[in-house]
Structure 1
Amino acid sequence: MSDTMQGQPADGAQLINAAVDAFKARERDDAAYLLAKAIQMNPPLGGKWGSVSRMAATIGEVSLALEAARRQIQAQPTAENHLAYAQLLMQNGRADEAARQAAALLRQRPNDPAVLHFLATCQVQLGDHATAEANLRRAIALPTVALGAENAWHVIADIKKFAPGDPDIAQMEALLERIGTSEAHRQNRTVLLYALGKALDDAGETDRAFACFDEAARLQKIDSTFNAERNKAFVDAVVKGYDRAFIDSLPKSEEHSERPIFVLGLPRSGTTLVEQILVSHSQVADGAEANLFRPAAMAIPGYTPEEVRAAFSRPDGATLPTRIAKAYLHLADERFGKGVRFVDKTLNQTQYLGLIRQVLPGAKLIWLRRHPAGIAWSCYRTRFARGVDWTRSMADIAAYFRGQDRLHAHWSAVLGDDLLTVPYEALVDDPETWMRRIIAHAGLEWEDGVRDFHKTERAVTTASFAQVRKPMYASSKEAWKRYEDKLKPFFDAYGAG
């Protein structure tokens, strides 16, 4: 990679423009190199450092993204830029530092609801629920919050167990009435419906709880981009063409690292529980929905056999698997620490498991399976911020599940013993047996401390943050049965496939 433009030394702004061009051309490594050189030159970009930070974060370069965010603060030391920096820290596994940044900002702006909410979110991830709830209630009490209190209520609902007659339920109901049903406040209403539904579910009011979840899903469905036919066509292509012969015909990766442990499966299927079990082992540093593989493999525009074959047929295709692997492990170093073992449980990696195996043949693979009704109900009642559009209708959930069932059967046949399937119900019924199998499959020696996985202190960012801080319990297995009659549209659609 040259640092000159048309025969002249490049300045920082030119390098950033060249990085943008490399990004558009899906040349991740070139974009990262150019951004690093530009940041080193420190051109006077002012507020444009924020764009540099976002681009670096998109390609997984955490250190570059954070440095660019710091430059933005130096140029424009606003509360918004400080908060953006803290959010970037939290998104990349640095919850402790994010909380310290938010606490410092709160001392300057004690009545800023955005800062209070963000600090509380950090505290929830770190397990300090009492302090988080106190900060959220401070935000709700601010006169400037008005209709914006629904976000605070949503977090409170996640961390609190409600009883019948709880006065918080009445407060949420009153706020819901004030929000109304206008399009302008649709997102506010959606968030609060999820919070109120959870509270009513805790209180045993299943009919009213379901009505809240159902309305929230319908309101979110308006913005959904999930297409069941397109999803089926993708699964058809993978099942038909991504077999062992196809894999064997592709270039081989020279990177055989066993550092990554991929935990696969649908959201709410027990993946966070297995992640917590694994990171409770002394040889596993941490885990997260890190989303590192997609930026590492951005040279490959799609994951059907045809698209993968086209990428590997380029003039530089023979070395592409190794280059993707090295990029992925570099990004893992950025996120988890250099050279450590880690858990990657990013959603949707079942879609390109064959490519993962091609690029990282030494990685360990674990797939969680759970009764479909349990996952369907848990997904339908959960507010996913982005990227899980198929959770917003019973028919879409059923269509997506049918595709995942086919992918699991396919990859199980293709990968054989390389893929460990863990039934969630069996795990909670017989944890000792299954925890030992999980640890052994990861290539680790058993440690008795793994049994106390719920005592492992770490930031947990998914919707399962509360469950993994408790000992193993089986009550969640059949929580869906209280809503069995309401799930009939799912059962009808799932069975019709």
Structure 2
Amino acid sequence: MTLARRALDMFTQGANDNSMATFQKAGLLAEIGIWQDAYELMSALPEAVPDRASNAYSRGTSALYVGETEQARDLLELATDLRPHSGTAWHSLATLIDFAAEPELAGRLLAAGQALRSGSPIDQASYLYAVGKVHADRGDHAPAFAAFAEGARRMKAIAPYSRERDRIGAQEAVNGFTAGRIAELGVGQREATDRTIFVMGLPRSGTTLVEQILTSHSAVSDGGEINRLGLFVKDVEGVSCDALARYAAAEGVSEIARLWHHWLDERFPGSGRIVDKTNNSSRLLGFAAAFLPQAPLIWLRRDPLDCAWSCFRTCFMHRIPWSYDLEDIAFHFQLEDALMARWQEILGDRLLVVSYESLVTQPDIWIRRILQHCELTEEPQVFAPHENRRTVTTSSVMQVRKPINRAGIGVAQPYREYLAPFIQAYEG
């Protein structure tokens, strides 16, 4: 990453620091997750670079993620005024709005459907998710579900899902692992490995809330979906225990830990601890457990129906192919349930399983358990994670800006009849 940032600096300098080069640099920084820097670069650009609509959308999105919600709203409204056929702009704006309280803006969004007929497939799909949110906010359940379902159908055509590939991946993730073999793989580790705190679980299960709680602590400097464990997979040539054993024999467990720390230091300079809540970490948990034996491991669980509905109605920034079909969601959830049960057997108390419902109902009790599991002292600010002004780039960006509450419990009940395909596939 250090070399990549140097290359970006050289690129803009080679272009005599012109505005278009700076805009492109900001976009690349956003892609690798450095949103604060991207936001600052975008904020310094003239409003017409590269054009007013693109500028407003890019600045609005970066403002949303860094917590500047009022500015984000102004910019995203401008983007939709200038380019009403931008479904992605409407979708980002919808994230910020309670349409039940803003009928005029809801009307504008619904009226934009005519312009979207000429939009790209991704714009059309994103717009449909925004339409779904309008109806959901207003309590109109049937048209809300219809819009979300149509958006999901279009996304499924863009990003198809393979159940067989998912099944094989889940099977390999625990292939050959036992408590004894994990202990053997960690023998000889001379590096401290407690800097990273791994938080995993299905999307929309509360992982961002736990990340927000932990990063409120003075000893934890940052976190995010950092996608570094996956970099090892290419070298390891697999995720099974045998593949990891071969890799450890060739590289040495301490060298593996040093490489991990190097990657962390590049992304997160400084000495604080880091929360890694990368999506799909359950498939790489063996690597973390074996080679980073001091790293705390936390798994979030949420009511399956609420979690399924929340996934289905979300147009994820990073496409999640199984989330576009209710029966595919059920299949993936079953795989993750089996993985969690197996990892609990293998890891025992090292894996802390946290119920989302328990966390939001009894936050003081569960926040203390999480802190204890991570060997963090109690500090008052962790009990008010909504005051943590750090960058958040997940679909929970607005929820975690609010005090911990129970609003996410029972969200699927008004849609239960429409979710029958999930219920039958998951429970049957």
Please report the TM-score for the alignment, with normalisation by the length of structure 1. Answer: 0.81
Superposed counterparts of 1:53-452, under 5 Å: 61=1, 63-76=2-15, 79-92=19-32, 94-107=34-47, 109=49, 111-142=51-82, 145-147=83-85, 149-163=86-100, 166-180=103-117, 185-250=120-185, 252=187, 253-296=189-232, 298-312=234-248, 316-317=250-251, 319=252, 321-452=253-384
Report Cα offsets for 1:372-426 as digits up to 9, x if no partner.
Answer: 1111000000011334211011111111111100110111111111111100000
Shift of 1:225: 4.0
Shift of 1:190: 0.2
Matched length: 426
Q: What letter is aligned with 1:463? A: S
Shift of 1:297: 5.1
Shift of 1:88: 3.2
Residues 95, 352 of structure 1: CA spacing in aligned structure 2 closer, same or farther, 3 A cutoff?
A: closer
Residues 330, 173 of structure 1: CA spacing in aligned structure 2 closer, same or farther, 3 A cutoff?
A: same
> What is the DSSP-based 3-state SS (H/G/I as helix, E as strand, rest coil) of the residue aligned with 1:195?
helix
Is contact 2:116-2:124 (8 Å) kept?
yes
Report Cα offsets for 1:96-153 as digits up to 9, x if no partner.
Answer: 33222112223463842222111111211122211111111222222xx352x32221
- Bigger Cα displacement from structure 2, 441-450 vs 383-392: 383-392
- Identity across matched positions, percent: 36
- Bigger Cα displacement from structure 2, 444-453 vs 224-233: 224-233
Unaligned 5+ runs, structure 1: 1-60
Shift of 1:199: 1.4
Q: What letter is aligned with 1:112? A: R
Report Cα offsets for 1:330-378 as digits up to 9, x if no partner.
Answer: 1211222232211111111111111111111111111101111111000
Is contact 1:242-1:305 (8 Å) kept?
yes
Shift of 1:186: 2.0
Could you tell me which residue of structure 2 aligns to residue 490 of structure 1?
A: 422
Is contact 2:87-2:122 (8 Å) kept?
no
Provide the rounded CA distance (Å) in 1 between the counterparts of 2:36 and 2:208: 20
Shift of 1:239: 4.1
Provide the rounded CA distance (Å) in 2 between the counterparts of 1:242 and 1:124: 41
Could you tell me which residue of structure 2 aligns to residue 51 of structure 1?
A: none
Provide the rounded CA distance (Å) in 1 between the counterparts of 2:275 and 2:171: 29
Q: What letter is aligned with 2:326? A: M
Is contact 2:233-2:239 (8 Å) kept?
no
Provide the rounded CA distance (Å) in 1 between the counterparts of 2:319 and 2:145: 23
Q: What letter is aligned with 2:318? A: R
Shift of 1:223: 2.7
Shift of 1:490: 0.4
Q: Which has the higher contact order (CA 8 A, sep 6+)?
A: 2
Provide the rounded CA distance (Å) in 2 between the counterparts of 1:323 and 1:225: 38
- Bigger Cα displacement from structure 2, 149-158 vs 434-443: 149-158
Shift of 1:246: 3.4
Q: What letter is aligned with 1:446? A: E
Q: What letter is aligned with 1:186? A: P
Provide the rounded CA distance (Å) in 1 between the counterparts of 2:101 and 2:124: 22
Residues 146, 163 of structure 1: CA spacing in aligned structure 2 closer, same or farther, 3 A cutoff?
A: closer
- Bigger Cα displacement from structure 2, 76-85 vs 187-196: 76-85
Is contact 1:261-1:343 (8 Å) kept?
yes
Is contact 2:172-2:240 (8 Å) kept?
yes
Report Cα offsets for 1:280-318 as digits up to 9, x if no partner.
Answer: 1111111111112222554113213343344345xx24x
Is contact 2:226-2:278 (8 Å) kept?
yes
Is contact 2:174-2:241 (8 Å) kept?
no
Is contact 1:277-1:450 (8 Å) kept?
yes
Q: What letter is aligned with 1:307? A: A
Unaligned 5+ runs, structure 2: none
Provide the rounded CA distance (Å) in 2 between the counterparts of 1:188 and 1:297: 33
Provide the rounded CA distance (Å) in 1 between the counterparts of 2:102 and 2:66: 30
Provide the rounded CA distance (Å) in 2 between the counterparts of 1:64 and 1:240: 36
Could you tell me which residue of structure 1 aligns to residue 387 of structure 2?
A: 455
Q: What letter is aligned with 2:238? A: G
> What is the DSSP-based 3-state SS (H/G/I as helix, E as strand, rest coil) of the residue aligned with 1:241?
coil
* Aligned-CA RMSD value: 2.1
Q: What letter is aligned with 2:225? A: E
> What is the DSSP-based 3-state SS (H/G/I as helix, E as strand, rest coil) of the residue aligned with 2:25?
helix
Provide the rounded CA distance (Å) in 2 between the counterparts of 1:65 and 1:281: 30
Shift of 1:255: 2.4
Q: What letter is aligned with 2:403? A: P
Is contact 2:84-2:115 (8 Å) kept?
no
Report Cα offsets for 1:186-216 as digits up to 9, x if no partner.
Answer: 2221010011111111011111111110001
> What is the DSSP-based 3-state SS (H/G/I as helix, E as strand, rest coil) of the residue aligned with 2:203?
coil
Residues 360, 240 of structure 1: CA spacing in aligned structure 2 closer, same or farther, 3 A cutoff?
A: closer
Provide the rounded CA distance (Å) in 2 between the counterparts of 1:164 and 1:430: 30
Shift of 1:322: 2.5
